[in-house]
Amino acid sequence: MDIETCDRLPLVPEATLKAHKVHVSYDTRFRACARLLQALHRQAAGWTLGTYTTASGRKRRMGHLVGSYDGAAGANFLSLDVHRLARRELAYREPGAMFEERRLYENLLSSTPLALNLLGPLKLNRDLAEAFVREIAPEYAGRVCAVGFEHSPGRGDRTFTDDATAFDGFINLRLEDGRKAFIAIEIKYSETAGEPEPRMRDRYDDLSVSSELFSDPDDPALRRNPIQQFWRLHLLAQSMIDAGLYDAGKVVVIAPRLNDQVQRALGLYQRHLAPAREGKAGFLNLPLEDAISALALAGAPDMARAITTRYVDFTPIHALI
């Protein structure tokens, strides 16, 4: 079988998942494979097995978790520089930013360290960041002023979405024509787009209409899983433009191509969008594999290979099957 062109992942036998301590009965096919892939990486690296505490208070060992010593030593990061950056971002995070320290350091399956592994090199190298932007959004070519993580223009501020919605990554730009712009990034790895739904706020309804982003801004489907998070992120992006903070911007969702749940949700969400217009926040579904290719083309092929091996090359799973 040609793994490079394989369009599906296997249903891993329960006995195999249990043998590697990654059996979770409600996992999707993708999440089960991703969890097992991280366990195989942990085993190959010789990192200790980590634990978490269940709702009943029982400690459970899981193959995709590393022990606290290995986590603190940087197991979840693909370079020493990104590990140092992660520590700095945690220390200087925005007030209210939702960084969970143990997930960041010890959960190999978490999308937060993926965000830092993928976007951290951009913060450390402005030339690389500008080249990356040219690859993924050439219409936003210009000077990268800053790259941030877990960013919100104002948590709880009614000027925006009046809640704690934030972007996983945020690239602040000055375009070649002088306009202020941004690329706001949401990263999914093994998520299903079925996370707990937040309390609906009146501000969402107001923005959904005033933003003029949607063919039917009152459609109840926008307010429910699997697309309500994309709706809120898009509203936040447009509210920043409407408030005059930026002249242009785009929401970019990055998720593995084989994560069927998220890819279907993105397709569903995009069917709700009104035609693109000047002054309106754009929306782009950028598969993780394409984002990695953009990083390589921008000038970081070694990091791109490391991210591919760690997150999207499922050859070890196919070999195990």
Q: Which two tokens stand for residue 55?
A: 């709702």
pLDDT at position 5 is: 46
* Contact by Cβ (8 Å): 31, 317: no
Which phi-psi region, left, alpha or beta, contains residue 312 (left: φ > 0; alpha: ψ -120 to 50)?
A: alpha
The answer to whether 124 touches 85, Cβ cutoff 8 Å, is yes
The pLDDT of residue 195 is: 86
Q: In this predicted structure, what is the pLDDT of residue 7?
A: 80
> Roughly what angle, to the nearest 10 degrees, separates helices 288-298 and 111-124?
20
Q: Are 86 and 53 in contact (CB under 8 A)?
A: no
CA-atom Rg of the chain in angstroms: 20
Count of helices and strands (H, E) across the chain? 13, 7
Q: Can you give the pLDDT at residue 253?
A: 98
Helix segments in the chain, DSSP class H? 14-19, 29-45, 68-72, 80-91, 101-106, 111-124, 126-136, 202-210, 228-242, 260-270, 288-298, 301-307, 315-320
* Ordered mean pLDDT values, 10 residues apiece, the chain (321 residues): 66 97 96 98 97 86 97 98 97 92 96 98 98 97 97 96 97 97 98 90 97 98 97 98 98 98 98 96 98 98 98 97 92
Do 159 and 206 touch, CB atoms closer than 8 A? no
